[in-house]
Every structure is written in structure tokens, then in C-alpha cells.
Structure 1
Amino acid sequence: MSRALFLAGRWAQRHILSAYVAQPPRMLRIARPAHGKPVLQTDPTLHFSFARRGTRALLAVAPVPVGIDLEVHRNGWRPQELMAVIGCAAERRRVSALAPAMRPDAVMRCWTAKEACLKASGWGLALPPHRFDVGPLVADATAPAWPLDLPSSRNGGGQSWTVQSLASTAGWSAALAVSALSGTPLRQVWRAWEA
């Protein structure tokens, strides 16, 4: 089943990207460097990020670097242990100030926001997540996009980003990080496919 879902996700990704570059999906060339994020060789000015968990997937496409993440809240996971590894001091204080019942969702929002930033910047987990702050969205899913700077990346100097939580159903978290170079809000389009 997981192989079929993986292939379905790749199929959907190629079909959506093909509409942006007006080429058949099979003609797209996607480079997946050992370090850094995938690049559409057909049009390197078009940036994208893909996340899949189970039967759900998200694809972000933008004219500037972008990262997206999607996570499901699993039974038996330990939010405090995850927060101790990924959270900076300010984020840990924000989570501690919440009612205990709200903390697991806050930790998951923090994690998805961090993953989106690490994907967008091309760092991956080479940059420890506790080295930057994803702001008030940790405590409040409806918080506005948060500006942040990441240290100099593998691909050049440091960059400025904005990160925000995306609306998701109970038990799921999603976040989007976009290069501050965009200057204008990006439009969100939601589509659903049955695999």
C-alpha cells in the first residue's frame, strides 16, 4: 500500500507541475541532489515542495523558494520529548504556557513549521531545528505569517522567510514557508484527488 501511495503522490506532483510549464508529465526532469531540495530542470525558476503522509499530500508551487510540510498526529508519540529536541527556548516557553491539552497540537505545529522552513531553504536536517524560532504560530494556528532569518545556507548567504500554519483537519498539521523575496501574498489553491 505505501508503495502505491508513494507512486500516486509522484504521479499527482508531475501532473500538477506539468500544467505550470506546459509540458507532458513524462517529459519533466526533476533533479534530486543528495543535499538540497528537488529542482525542476525543465524550468529552474519554478520552485516546488512536496509532502505526503498516508493518503494525504500537499504540493506548493511558487516563483520563489518554497517549502511545505504535512504531519499526522500519531497515537503514543511524546510531544515533550520532540519539543526538547526541536524547540528553541522561546518556543518551549510558548508551549509550556499553554494548557496541557493544547500542547500536543502546538508541538506538531512547531514541527511542521520547522520542516517547511528547512525544506524551503534547502538545509534539510543539516540545520538543527532548535537554532531558529517559528514564532507565535506554535501557540496559535491562526497567527499571521511569521518572518524569520535562517543562517547562511548551503546555497549562498542567509535568507529571510515567512512561515505560516495552514488550515487542516483535526489530527493533522501543515505549514508553508516562502522566501521573503515574494513580496506579495501567494494564492492558495486546494484540490483533492482520490488515489
Structure 2
Amino acid sequence: MNKKYLALPAVLVLAAAVVAAVELRPTELRRLREQNLCLGMLTEQTAGLLQDGKGGDVVVDEFIPNSSGSAAEPADPIFSTICSVNRKNADDEDGLRLQYTLDVRSTSTLNDRPKGGTPVGDGLTGWVGPRQSEVQLPGGCEKKMRRPDARYITVSLKVSPVAVTGRDWDYPSLTRDSRTVVLDAVENLTKQYDCAT
């Protein structure tokens, strides 16, 4: 057999081994998504922080609608998932109380800060409020997240009325806990995509 033809299978085997090694190599994205909740954005402790005060186990629902990606390049589920953080009712095994939702969007415009919202600080753009918060990931994350056409990647947190009334409309406490939750999400996303400032 000609030595020239033996080199091609050896090169193909080596290339396949490299691809397999890269795919199996643990990445920060994979590690955090396996370890944390809401596609890796929240630790279990932080996920349970923003709640109505009535107790019950934390139950997270990561609703992922049909992917809009192609077979060649599937869409990152982070942009199509709405993560709902619930609490189980003590008296009803199947009953859940929605505490808040968390989602990530790419956008070219920012929403105005509502009345009662405060700047998030920590060198980040965005605002935190007792009912809703929006914080942008640092510049450069859009490229790492394969959204080069987006000007901003926004993490949105929406607090359920159940949590607001359960906390007796204690807005300073809700704002403080909302800030902790949304900043944990931002920090874990910047770790996943290696785009921290």
C-alpha cells in the first residue's frame, strides 16, 4: 500500500481525537450549568433568597421553547429560556407559588429606569427595583455569546406579585434581594462565557 494513502487515515483519526477531546473537556459553561440553577445563572442559595416568606422547597422550571437554531449551529438556550423560580406549597404537593422569573435577551436598546429603580452600580449598566430589574452584561459578552449584532445582553428579573405581597411591600428588602439575585446571574454568565470586565 502506498505510504501517501496511509497518512490520510492517520490525520483523520488525529483530527477526530482532537474534536472529541475539545467536546469532552469540561468548560466553565458546562460546569456552571450542571452545578447551578437557571442554566447556570444562580446558586441554589441565591435562587431561594427572593421569596414570599411562606417557606416551601425551591422548584426551578427552565422553560425552553422550540429551538430556532439550525442543525449546523443550534441556538444557545440561554436566549430562549425563561427560568421560573417557585416555592412548593406546604399543604399541596403539586401546588407552586411563582416567586420570580429570570431571562436573558440580546437587544439594541435599553429600557428606561422606572420610578423607584436604582442604578445597579459595581461598574455595570442597568437598574434594580423591587418588582423588576434589568442589568446589562459587560461589553464584549455579545461576541462571546455569538450575538455580534446586539448592542447589549440584558438579564431581566421580574418579581411575582406573590413575593411582593408576601413580603408586605417591603421595597428596600425586595430591592436588596433582587440586586443580589440579578448580580449573581450576571457574574455566573460572565464566567460561563469568559467575558468579565
| TM-score (normalizing by structure 2) | 0.32
Question: Higher RCO, 1 or 2 (CA under 8 Å, sep at least 6)?
Answer: 2
Larger radius of gyration: 2
| TM-score (normalizing by structure 1) | 0.32
